[in-house]
Each structure stands twice: as structure tokens, then as C-alpha cells.
Structure 1
Amino acid sequence: MQFGDINLLFSLSGLVVGVIVGLTGVGGGSLMTPLLIALFAVEPSKAVGSDLLYAALTKSVGTAVHGKNGAVDWQIVRRLALGSVPATLLTFLVMIHYDLAGTKSGVLVTALACVLVVTAFTMLLRGRIVAYLARAVEGVSEFSIAAMTVVTGVVLGVLVTLTSVGAGAIGVTALLVLYPRMATVRIVGSDIAHAVPLTLVAGLGHWYFLGDVDWAMLASLLIGSVPGIYIGAHLAPRLPEAALRTMLAVVLFLVALKLFGVY
């Protein structure tokens, strides 16, 4: 890869998505992958593979910050990874066997659109979802909570490997239900920390098994996203978070309709 391979349009897209991630804490995979597919006509599996490594690199920085501040529960991270990493590898075997990343890549687009809809509703209704499901797990034993955390990791492993979406909004919501007494900052920090090995394994899997990583595109995205996240993080305290999340949820829903071919 040479400097001339850098695409400034990808960098601009990375900047915009980076600002949104810095403002809301979510939206990286949820926006980047569908943006690459719908706007730049990138092959779905290549968009997913490149975005996974993009997420692994950017969230490594977030993990370092949260870890330094003591905002990561490493036991939760281990439980999630115990489910997500094997699920990721198993998902690759299924993808390869059924050629989901090749001639049937439309399956990936449909899966991505479905997960975007779920993510949008999760962002809009997180409070109600957590309140409703928290009653179901109230009084459950620690062993059961640990088992459900591993199962959550399995679900995230499948979703993220297929679509690169789900580790943020869906993962945080699940952890808020399972660990209601834990501070939100530790929930978010633990979710981000878990996303690093998950997206790294999934991204390397896309590269090794499917050859679905565009390194020049990845570099172009990072050039824009790194300053974008910095800008967004500094603007966040001055803007209403609820309004930002609502706006992002609406955007995700519209992108999902685009991927479904509604317009």
C-alpha cells in the first residue's frame, strides 16, 4: 500500500463517523459498514471485514483509557469472550460452507439491515427494555448470571462476525440488564474492552479465511476517524445525549430501509 492509495472520501466518511462515535459512544460499525455498502458500493463481506479491524484498532484506544480509569470489569470481559470467540470461529465455518460471503452476499446485507433495525430500537427504548428484562433476572444466582453473560457473548459473536454491528448498543443493553448494580461507566468500559478481541478475531478471520479486508480503505478510514473521535468527545458535554441518540437511531433505521431496498 502506498500513500497514493489513500482515498480522501473514505477519510471524510471516517471523520464523520468518528465524530458521531465520540458524541454518542456508539455508531461505529452501525454506520460505517452500511455507509461503505450503500454509498460506496463496497462488497458487503469486504465492508464487514475492513470495518471489524477498524473497530478493533479504534476501540483499543478506548479500552486503554477506560482501563487506566479502572472502568473495566475484566471478569465480565472474560465471560463475554468465552462465548463470543468460539461463536465467531463457528460462524466462519458456516459462512465458508454456505458461501455467505461470496455468491450469496445478499444474505449479509439482509442480516445487516435486520441488526440495524434491532440496534435502532434498542437505542430508542433502552430504558424500557432494561426495566422490563431486569425483573426477569432479579434474584437469579451468580452462576446463572455468568452463564447468561457467556450466552450474550455467543449472540454478539455471531452478529458481529456477520455484520460488524451489535457489540455497542446491543451489548451494553444486555449488560445493563444482567448487572443492574454496576456503574454505567464500567458497563460501557467492559463492553468496549470485550469488543477489541471480538472484532480483532472476527476481522482477522475475514482476512485469513475470506480475504475480505481492504487495507488501503482501512487506512483511509482511520486517518479520518481518529481526529473525528477526538472532536466528538470534546463536543459531547455541550450537546444533549438523548437527542443525539434519537437522531442516530433514526439514521440507522433509514439506512436499514435503504439496505432492504425500500427506496
Structure 2
Amino acid sequence: MIDTSYALAGALTGFVVGLTGVGGGALMTPILLIFFGVSPTTAIATDLWFAAVTKLVGARVHHTNGHVDWQVARRLWMGSLPVALLIVVIVSLDGQVAQVEWLTKAVGIVVLITAVGLFAAPRLLAYARGRRVNGAERFKAVQPSLTVTAGAILGLCVALTSVGAGALGSVMLLYLYPLRMTPHRLVATDLVHAIPLAVVAGAGYLFAGMVDWWMLAGLLAGSVPAVLLGSLLAGKIPGRWVQLALAMALVAGGIKVMG
């Protein structure tokens, strides 16, 4: 039986993901922890598969419109997938992550960092544009290696907390590609990068039996139509206002989770 409350939570998150590429794990994991009282490992495990399916639907719309920057996505995968796979091995072999008492606080910390990144995004973008224009050769020379490093950081965050692929990833991409990442391209590339990352990171939790399938079904029942709607409306609603609203919600959620 599909739980209506899970479907509503999925719809809210799916719409934001489709609209901005941001908010999957950063929004859903705190919702599951705070409002539904789900255990940290079950919330993370279920949210990773929720994010994979939801973002796959949203990415299809953006890919059809030709907005995905595949070169940037590949660079991110070079860093994120190996790190996520390492965490998968740890989870699958002995379930150490399930025993970590600070997992809830880790979620809260990453959520708060994500919120700060969203608030500071315009200033980071302005700073990055200055560096890109005034030191173009040097900036472009380090772009590939910095992108792989950013991917590795995202892989670690997502595998341990399910948070970061969208929100933190978008802030990192704005800094690393201030001229290249148009709003549509940013959303599309961020979504495409997050899909295999969520699958790889979620595999360890899946094998460990931590995914709540009924909860996942309820979340997806709401998110799939909502992410389609959000993806179709992307660019028609001011993304900055959505980001600010999301950032404020994340601050409240992060503090509540850590408390």
C-alpha cells in the first residue's frame, strides 16, 4: 500500500530536483529523518535509490534538449565513482557504516555546508569569473584535475550521507566552469552525474538489505510526475529564488537533524 505522506514528500523533492537539479538528498534525507523518524542508514539507503530513479527521469528531459555537458560529467565520474565504490565495498563486507553513531550528525553537517554553498553561489561565481577571465590559461590548466577532485569529494559525501550530488555539485560546477555552465547546462550536467553515483553508492546499502522498498515506492509515486513537471518548467521560474528558499529550509533541517 502506497503511503500518501511519502508520495507528497517525494513530489515536493522531485519538483525541486527537476527545476534546479538541486535538493534530492539534501532535502529528502532530512525529511525522512525529521518528519518520518526513519533510521539514518535506512534513510540514506532508500534516498540513494530514490535519487537515482528521480534524476534519471529528470535528466531524460534535459538530455533531449541537448543541455548535458558530457566532458564535465565524465571528469566528475572519474573522481566520484571510485570513491563511492570504495564505500560500497566497506558497507557490503562488514556493514561498518551502519554502526557509525555520528552518521546523523554527518548528514546535518553536509546539509548545512550545502546551504552555505547555495547562499554564497553568486559571490563564488563572480570570484570564479574574475579568475577565469584574468588568468584564463592557468585556470583552464587546472580545471580537469580540480573537477576530478570535486567528484571525489562528492562521491564521499553521497556514499556516506546521500547528500551533496546536486546542491554541492552545482556550487562546485559554477566555480569550476563560470563561463561554460549556463543555468540549463548546469542542471542537466548535475543530474546526469548524480545518476550512476547514486546507483554505485546505493549498491552497498542494497546488498546490506537497508533499503525500505515500500517507502521507496511511495516516494517515487510522487516524485516521477513532479520531476517531469519541474524539468519542463526549468528556466521559466527564477532559479535563484528557488535556491534561496531551499537553502533556508536546509539550514532549519540541518540544525534540527544535528540537534
Normalising by structure 1, we get a TM-score of 0.87
- Cα pair 2:62 2:231 within 8 Å, conserved: no
Are 2:6 and 1:7 equivalent residues in the alignment? Answer: no
Match of 1:131 among 126, 135, 138: 126
Are 2:154 and 1:156 equivalent residues in the alignment? Answer: yes
Equivalence map 1:190-209=2 (5 Å) = 190-208=189-207
Gaps of 5+ in 1: none
Are 2:41 and 1:45 equivalent residues in the alignment? Answer: yes
In the alignment, the residues of structure 2 paired with residue 108 and residue 225 of structure 1 have an alpha-carbon distance, to the nearest angstrom, of 26
In the alignment, the residues of structure 1 paired with residue 33 and residue 159 of structure 2 have an alpha-carbon distance, to the nearest angstrom, of 16
In the alignment, the residues of structure 2 paired with residue 78 and residue 23 of structure 1 have an alpha-carbon distance, to the nearest angstrom, of 23
Are 2:107 and 1:112 equivalent residues in the alignment? Answer: yes
- Cα pair 1:22 1:232 within 8 Å, conserved: yes
Matched with 1:166 is: 164
Gaps of 5+ in 2: none
Matched with 1:81 is: 77
Matched with 1:228 is: 226
Segment of structure 1 superposing worse, 176-185 or 217-226: 176-185
1:78 deviates by 1.2
Letter of the structure 2 residue corresponding to residue 109 of structure 1: T
Equivalence map 1:141-152=2 (5 Å) = 142-152=140-150
Q: Deviations over 1:44-78 (max 9, x none)?
A: 11111111111111111222222222211211111
Q: Deviations over 1:225-263 (max 9, x none)?
A: 1222344456666654333322211111011111111xx
Q: Deviations over 1:210-231 (max 9, x none)?
A: 3221111111100011222344
Q: Report the aligned-residue RMSD.
A: 2.3
Residues 95, 111 of structure 1: CA spacing in aligned structure 2 closer, same or farther, 3 A cutoff? farther
> Identity of counterpart residues, as a percentage?
42
- Cα pair 1:100 1:108 within 8 Å, conserved: no
Segment of structure 1 superposing worse, 192-201 or 237-246: 237-246
In the alignment, the residues of structure 2 paired with residue 177 and residue 119 of structure 1 have an alpha-carbon distance, to the nearest angstrom, of 14
Matched with 1:256 is: 254
1:19 deviates by 3.0
Q: Deviations over 1:143-194 (max 9, x none)?
A: 5211111111100000011111111121112112222221412232212111
In the alignment, the residues of structure 2 paired with residue 108 and residue 255 of structure 1 have an alpha-carbon distance, to the nearest angstrom, of 15
Matched position secondary structure for 1:140: helix
- Cα pair 1:130 1:177 within 8 Å, conserved: yes
- Cα pair 2:22 2:170 within 8 Å, conserved: no
Letter of the structure 2 residue corresponding to residue 188 of structure 1: V
In the alignment, the residues of structure 2 paired with residue 231 and residue 87 of structure 1 have an alpha-carbon distance, to the nearest angstrom, of 33
Letter of the structure 1 residue corresponding to residue 44 of structure 2: V
Number of residues paired by the alignment? Answer: 255
- Cα pair 2:11 2:223 within 8 Å, conserved: yes
Matched with 1:179 is: 177
Normalising by structure 2, we get a TM-score of 0.88
- Cα pair 2:158 2:198 within 8 Å, conserved: yes
